[in-house]
Structure 1
Amino acid sequence: MASKTETRTRKANSPKVRPQTRAPAEVKSDDPLYLQVVRALKDEIVSGVHPVGSQLPTEEELCERFSVSRYTVREALRRLREDNLVSSRQGAGTIVVPPRPADSFVHEVMSINDLVAFATGVRFAIDAIEMIVVDAKLAARLGIASGEEWLSVRGLRHTDGNEFPICWTEVYINREFAAVGRLLQRHTGPIFHLIEDLFGQSIVEVHQDIAAALISPELAGGLKVKPGTTALEVQRTYKLATGKIAQVAINTHPAARFRHSMTMRRVKG
């Protein structure tokens, strides 16, 4: 609910916009304040006032510009993120991002915390959970010793509203932490969090490799693509402070449905 101050502002006039190279689209005074801010900023993004890669004004600057509360500005920015027009990161502000095809899945990673957002934003439909003995071929693939027992978890990942799975996932968990397996069927979120919570451990490093691959006949049906379709394999190795590997995850994405996004900034020093 808008504050009394915001209600008076809304009755008086629509958001005040400082002169730009192109005026924002007209807004209706009876619309919620956050939608008025959304429309003004969206028009500026589309018209090039805020080009791709540029940073939007700060929350404080937007509050002053539109004469609204910080809550209203945050709700407007949330809506712009949902429309895939901007990306917000703590300490980096809100950045205008390039448009993407409606059927593609964008995974943005800059920290281990971003992996949490990835895992909570998709549903893992587990197909199989079992203890396996790592053979030489799998050992070479995962970078672990052969002959050891690891917990294997396999299945498809989905996002709401999309009929196609985003990837096939294989997770291999060190036998020392295999007890998490009994919780996985009703667990949502990242598996490595279970390891941390149940065993008092802390994942301090995640090494990621992305490689081109072809989708095998065994995976083609579940991913709803033809065998031999180009794919991207995203492999992540999760390590403890001791250097021990706690978990290895491999996500196989049909290439046409996946784009990896990463922002790099120059560090002074």
Structure 2
Amino acid sequence: MANRDTAVQSALLRLRHLIAMRFEVGDQLPTEKTLAESMDVSRGTVREALGILATEGIVNRRWGAGTFVNPPRPVASLNMSAIQSFRDRVQSSGRIVTLLDGTCERVECPPDASRALQLSNGATAWLVRRLFAVDGTPAALMHEHIPLELFGRPIDPAPMRSLETDLFEMLNRHQRGATAHTVTDIEAVALDAADAEPLGLDPGCPVIRAVQVTYSPDNEPLAYGRSLQRTDLVRMRITR
């Protein structure tokens, strides 16, 4: 299974490069048989890779006609230079953002979040999970771990289950001027099966992963967030 996944990912990368370098919008791709022979892989591998590209909207597979290159989707360009929520960044780009799902529960904090939040191993923390859509299409899956207490008193992040309240608003209501800065690491990753389903993608599709720690003016860690954002709907812009 692992070898097949690797073969599909390799074929996917080669197809992306082929489409970008040799084909225009509306062009028809070679047949699965021709592509498989040129890449020295099975037709099943090519079919699976093309299916991922179709899910991402890069190609259009027409039964009995072939596979054609789609126009590029409009993407929301998000300014990462200021402290803003995903909601505000999308709205400022002129797109419509909606919250498809939001949950809040107490969980055992995973090791990476515990380290970032300076909590003991196995400590309990809040987990807020939210699924956002851009123009009606699932676009970003976010998990925020938040300590049970901040600034010496319990905190309740339940309002974040609605679109009206983001992380920074919730923190600043709890303590005026709570948020001072964030540190964000961004990388491209392949989706696993658990995260692929809510985003409407196939496992293995590339997405942007952003891991962000929010700090107080005294450099106290307030929240540890991990987001997965679709590359066909969202791009990030950093101004320095």
**TM bucket, shorter chain:** 0.5 to 0.7
Deviation at 1:167, TM superposition (A): 0.9
Q: Secondary structure at the match of 1:192?
A: helix
* C-alpha separation in 1, matches of 2:161 and 2:215: 24
* C-alpha separation in 2, matches of 1:198 and 1:208: 23
Percent of counterpart pairs with the same letter? 13
Report 1:41-60 matches (<5 A).
Answer: none
Q: Secondary structure at the match of 1:166?
A: strand
Residue 170 of structure 1 corresponds to which residue in structure 2? Answer: 143
- Within the alignment, does 1:148 sit opposite 2:119 as a pair? no
- Within the alignment, does 1:108 sit opposite 2:79 as a pair? yes
* C-alpha separation in 1, matches of 2:90 and 2:223: 15
TM-score (norm 1): 0.53
Moved more, 220-229 or 199-208: 199-208
Residue 117 of structure 1 corresponds to which residue in structure 2? Answer: 88
- Within the alignment, does 1:200 sit opposite 2:176 as a pair? yes
* C-alpha separation in 1, matches of 2:224 and 2:184: 10
Any conservation in 2 of the 1:116–1:189 contact (CA below 8 Å)? no
Q: Secondary structure at the match of 2:158?
A: helix
Q: Secondary structure at the match of 1:157?
A: strand
Q: Which has the higher strand share?
A: 2
Residue 220 of structure 1 corresponds to which residue in structure 2? Answer: 196
Any conservation in 1 of the 2:107–2:126 contact (CA below 8 Å)? yes
- Within the alignment, does 1:158 sit opposite 2:129 as a pair? no
Q: What are the superposed Cα offsets for residues 173-205 of structure 1, whole Å, 9 maximum, x if unpaired? A: 121146332323345142221111123342111
Deviation at 1:127, TM superposition (A): 3.8
The 3 A distance-change label for structure 1 pair 157 and 187 is closer
- The answer to which structure, 1 or 2, has the higher relative contact order (CA under 8 A, 6+ apart) is 2
Cα RMSD (Å):
2.7
* C-alpha separation in 2, matches of 1:206 and 1:103: 28
The 3 A distance-change label for structure 1 pair 168 and 131 is same
Residue 211 of structure 1 corresponds to which residue in structure 2? Answer: 187
Q: Secondary structure at the match of 1:203?
A: coil
* C-alpha separation in 2, matches of 1:143 and 1:211: 21
Moved more, 172-181 or 107-116: 107-116
Where in structure 1 do 4 or more consecutive aligned residues deviate above 4 Å? 113-116
Q: Secondary structure at the match of 1:218?
A: helix
* C-alpha separation in 2, matches of 1:218 and 1:150: 22
Any conservation in 1 of the 2:103–2:129 contact (CA below 8 Å)? yes
Deviation at 1:238, TM superposition (A): 0.6
Aligned residue type for 1:261: R
Instruction: Return 5+ residue gaps in structure 2 as ranges.
Output: 1-70
Residue 129 of structure 1 corresponds to which residue in structure 2? Answer: 104
Instruction: Return 5+ residue gaps in structure 1 as ranges.
Output: 1-99, 265-269
**Alignment partner of 1:230 out of 203, 206, 213:** 206
Q: What are the superposed Cα offsets for residues 203-258 of structure 1, whole Å, 9 maximum, x if unpaired? A: 11111110121111111121111101111101221100121111122210123332
* C-alpha separation in 1, matches of 2:170 and 2:215: 14
